[in-house]
Structure 1
Amino acid sequence: MQDYIIITDATSDLPVDIIKSLDIIVLPMEFIIENQVYSHYPDGREMSFCDFYSHLKMGRMSSTTQINYNTYKSAFTDILNEGKDILYISFSSGLSGTYNAARLVINDLKEEFPDNKILAVDSLCASIGEGLLVYLAALKRQEGFSIDKLKQWIENKRFEVCHWFAVDDLEHLKRGGRINAAQASVGTILNLKPILSVNREGKLVNVTKMRGKRKSFNYLLQKLKEDGENIESQTIMVGHANCEEDAVYLQQLILEQELASKVIICNISPIIGTHTGAGMIALTFVGRR
């Protein structure tokens, strides 16, 4: 077993059982509702996923903050004091300042721990796209990849992670400035579901709109068929923002059509859900981004 630790952010939206089984450390991230600050952990210990989305449905606003210097330093120092090296896989720099914040801490810690390796990789991924990349990296670590070899592998593989998001709540896209008020109003009336993706710069982009959930799910499946590579041997991830029935439905479609043999369902965290709202369905796989 390689003597280094993989660390990532709470934005990776990985299930707790995967995190534990692959010895991944997930740094909590904060969100704020009605002036109350909560730290989101993968097990939802301070606020459950269901309770969070209930707040949003009641019209309460949520905001998020990036991981601060002291949180990084404390988490990294604990591991370095154990004599282990660190490979940190961050949330996309195209969507957050977390990667650059971590780099500042790492530069300072290199002076204090000159004999340790402290490496950081910008995932250029979001939500379960980031989660899939971390999951695959952790499997490579189990195979015996050195920390340097794995860093190079991630930097290449991140461009092969395909992200597709079908958004249900247009109000949150309006608040985030991705659509205007008129588009949100018309889209809601016509039951339009925006389809978003992540580009090679790690930024969220609007791709198209589908009318109704079924058509949006079919679009996601079509992208899996068109862009996925060797998908029958892949692990596919489906994420949901408090709409598990939809996630199970999409999972069943993938399995019934024998597009993949393993589909993992993940909860979309409050950190991501703050910006997408409830009802979002996400699909991620390895292929041509």
Structure 2
Amino acid sequence: MKNEKIAFLVDSGSDVPQNILEQGNMKVIPLKIIYKDGEYTDKVDIQPEELYDRLKEEIPKTSLPDGETIKNMLNEIKAEGYTKVIAITISSGLSGTNNMVRLMAEEVEDLDVFVLDTKNVGIGSGLHAVQALSYVEAGMDWETIKQKLQDGIEKIKIHFYVDTLEYLQKGGRIGLVSSLVGNLLNLKPVISCNDDGIYYTVTKARGSKKGIQKTIDCSIEFANKAKKYDVAVCYAGTETKKIIDTIAETMKEMLPNIRDFYYDTISPALGVHTGPGLIGIAISQLED
């Protein structure tokens, strides 16, 4: 196994932590953000705060990169001497990236590409890349890695709170989350991805404070189903960062068996669909 060269390909919507990207030499497929006046590359020539400032004037659209870009990245990996690739993307129920990677992988000869549909989003998807890297570094064989990643889909979950459902609704990403009653009664949903990788409401609470607390409670409950876990918190907007700092400390106090803890803003491409005010907590249940 040590003689096999395994590369990593992830999409920018997976919000893989920077240290993991560097440690695994992972290539990132950049999602696109499209305004009336031009196209921007996620995390490259547009940053989160710029996006939120511009939301007051225009809500842009997002798109995956063209197939040729992905194919070129796979060919670069092949040229670097790799024979196998682990490709990790956000849910196929939220983006066409997963399917595009699959299609392009079929066009590159002599490269074994395993494409994981995480059924997840943001750092919830990124934690699968964390696990993939740990498996490769542990020297596991290719078939075992693929099976463990597939079996691990249900062991990673993100719960998130958004201050308003306006952006999810306008971006067509509302999924199974109902917005009408919530707007009338100030009910704040705690949102996650279901088994099909579609947004759904886990629970509701009246008002922001209770909604955030429910998000914390749901995450702790999921983490406590395992003896060890990785934890990641994410946010959208500078105002939200003040809250997430406190949440991060709460999670560390309430969950004593954390292996690794990650903390970052969400990518601009995801921010298009949530707007500022998102608070997310992802848990990766680890084996004993």
TM-score (norm 2): 0.88
Q: RMSD between aligned alpha carbons?
A: 2.2
Shift of 1:97: 1.6
Q: Deviations over 1:144-191 (max 9, x none)?
A: 12333211111000111112110112211331453677546425xx3x
* 1:98 counterpart residue number: 97
CA distances 1:182-204 after superposition (whole Å, capped 9, x unpaired): 546425xx3x3221111111111
Are the aligned partners of 1:231 and 1:260 in contact in 2 as well (CA < 8 Å)? no
Match of 2:274 in 1: 276
For structure 2, which runs of at least 5 residues remain unmatched after alignment? none
How is 1:68-83 mapped onto 2 (pairs within 5 angstroms)? 68-83=66-81
Task: Give yes or no for the alignment of 1:153 onto 2:151.
Answer: no
- CA displacement at 1:247 relative to structure 2: 1.6
Structure 1 Cα separation of the partners of residues 201 and 49 of structure 2: 27
Verify the 8 A CA contact 2:61 2:171 in the aligned structure 1.
no
Q: How do residues 121-200 of structure 1 correspond to structure 2 at under 5 angstroms? A: 121-177=116-172, 178=174, 182-183=180-181, 185-186=183-184, 190=186, 192-200=187-195
Secondary structure of 2:106's aligned partner = helix
Letter of the 1:65 partner, please give it: S
User: For the Cα contact (< 8 Å) 2:30–2:64, is it kept in 1?
Assistant: no
Which has the higher mean CA deviation after the structures are superposed, 172-181 or 234-243?
Answer: 172-181
SS of the residue corresponding to residue 8 of structure 2 reads strand
Q: Which moved more, 1:122-131 or 1:251-260?
A: 251-260
- Distance in 2, Cα, partners of 1:166 & 1:128: 14
Q: Is 1:14 aligned to residue 16 of structure 2?
A: yes
Contact 1:7 1:86 in 2 (8 A): yes
Distance in 1 between the 2:262 and 2:7 partners?
23
Q: Hey, what's the Cα distance between the residues in 2 that align with 1:200 and 1:170?
A: 21
How far off its partner does 1:286 sit? 2.7
**What code does the residue aligned with 1:86 have?**
V
- Report the CA distance shift for 1:220/1:259 in structure 2 as closer, same or farther (over 3 A): farther
Q: Among the aligned pairs, what percent are the same residue?
A: 25
- Is contact 1:174-1:184 (8 Å) kept? no
2:44 matched residue in structure 1: 45
Residues 248 and 265 in structure 1, CA contact (< 8 A), matched pair in contact too: no
* TM-aligned CA distance change 1:260 to 1:176, over 3 Å: farther
1:109-120 matches, within 5 Å, as 109-110=108-109, 113=110, 116-120=111-115
Aligned equivalents of 1:280 and 1:99: distance in 2?
24
CA shift for structure 1 position 62: 1.5
Compute the displacement of 1:259 (Å): 4.3
Distance 1:259 1:166, change over 3 A: farther
Residue of 243, 251, 264 corresponding to 1:246: 243
Q: 1:3 to 1:224 in 2, by over 3 A?
A: same
Q: Which moved more, 1:133-142 or 1:255-264?
A: 255-264
Matched AA of 2:279: I
Check whether the contact 2:48–2:271 (CA below 8 A) recurs between aligned residues: no
SS in 2 for 1:218: helix
Return 248-257 or 143-152, whichever deviates more: 143-152
Distance 2:139 2:179 in 1: 51
CA distance in structure 2 between the aligned counterparts of 1:229 and 1:3, rounded to whole angstroms: 35
Summarize the Cα distance change of 1:88–1:249 in structure 2 as closer, same or farther, 3 Å threshold: same
Gaps of at least 5 residues in structure 1 are: none
